[in-house]
Amino acid sequence: MPAESSGGPENTALTELLDRSVPADPVAIAAVVDAISETLARLEVPEQKRFEVALAVQEALANAVVHGCGNDPSKQVRCQLKSDPQGRILISVADPGPGFSPDLVPDPKGRENVYADHGRGVYLIRQLMDEVHFERGGSEIQMWKY
Amino acid sequence: MDINVRKRSQVQVIQLRGPLRMGPAVDGLRQTLEEALRNRETRIVMNLSEVPMVDSSGIGLLVQFLALIKKQGGNIKLANPSKFAVQTLRLVGVLKLFEIFDDDDAAVESFA
Tens digit of pLDDT at every position of chain B (112 positions) = 999 999 999 999 999 999 999 999 999 999 999 999 999 999 999 999 999 999 999 999 999 999 999 999 999 999 999 999 999 999 999 999 999 999 999 999 999 9
State whether residue B55 is helix, strand or coil. coil
pLDDT at A47: 97
To the nearest whole angstrom, how far is the Cα of B23 from the nearest Cα of chain A? 5
Give the mean model confidence (pLDDT) for residues A33-43.
Answer: 97
Among candidates A27, A30, A124 on the partner chain, residue whose Cβ is nearest the Cβ of B56: A124
Residue A2 placed within a domain:
no
Tell me, yes or no, if the pTM score tops 0.90.
Answer: yes
Instruction: Report chain A residues whose CB lies below 8 A from the CB of B55.
Output: 55, 58-59, 62, 121, 124
Question: Can you tell me the distance from the alpha carbon of A57 to that of B103, in angstroms, rounded to the nearest whole number?
Answer: 31
Judged on CB neighbours under 10 Å (0-12, 13-18, 19+), A23 is middle
Contact predicate B21/B48, CB 8 Å: no
Between chains, do A115 and B67 touch, taking CB under 8 Å as contact? Answer: yes
Specify the number of domains making up chain A: 1
CB of A128 within 8 Å of any CB in chain B? Answer: yes
Per domain, the residue ranges of chain B are 2-109
> Band of the pLDDT at A5, cuts 50, 70, 90?
very low
pLDDT tens readout for residues A86-97 = 999 999 999 999
The domain B2-109: what is its CATH number? Answer: 3.30.750.24
Provide the phi-psi class of B41: left if phi over 0, else alpha when psi is between -120 and 50, else beta. beta
Asked if residue A4 has pLDDT above 60, the reply is: no
Q: Which residue of A has its CA nearest to B93?
A: A109
User: What is the average pLDDT score of chain A?
Assistant: 90
Say if residue A126's pLDDT is above 80. yes
Q: How confident is the model at residue A114 (pLDDT cuts 50, 70, 90)?
A: confident
Beta strand pairing call for A76-83 and A15-23: antiparallel
Q: What is the pLDDT of residues A46-82, one digit of tens each?
A: 999 999 999 999 999 999 999 999 999 999 999 999 9
Query: What confidence tier does A112 reach under pLDDT thresholds 50, 70, 90?
Result: confident
Q: Which CATH number characterizes residue A114's domain?
A: 3.30.565.10
pLDDT at residue A57 in the model = 98
Residues in chain B closer than 8 A to A119 (CB atoms): 56, 60
| A54 interfaces chain B, CB cutoff of 8 Å | yes
Considering only alpha carbons, which residue of chain A is nearest residue B23?
A26
- 8 A C-beta contact, residue A93 and residue A77: yes
Structural domain boundaries, residue A102: 15-145
Q: Which residues of chain A have a CB within 8 Å of the CB of B52?
A: 51
At B60, which helix (H) or strand (E)? helix B56-71
Q: Is the pLDDT of residue A7 over 90?
A: no
Identify whether A72 is part of a domain.
Answer: yes
- A10 in a domain, yes or no? no
In this predicted structure, what is the pLDDT of residue A10?
57
Using DSSP bridges, classify how beta strands A140-145 and A131-135 pair: parallel, antiparallel or unpaired.
Answer: antiparallel
Task: Report the gap between the CA of B87 and the closest CA in chain A (Å).
Answer: 10
Instruction: Give the whole-angstrom CA distance, residue B9 versus residue B7.
Output: 7
**What is the mean pLDDT of the segment spanning A31-60?**
97
> Contact B47/B40 with Cβ under 8 angstroms?
no
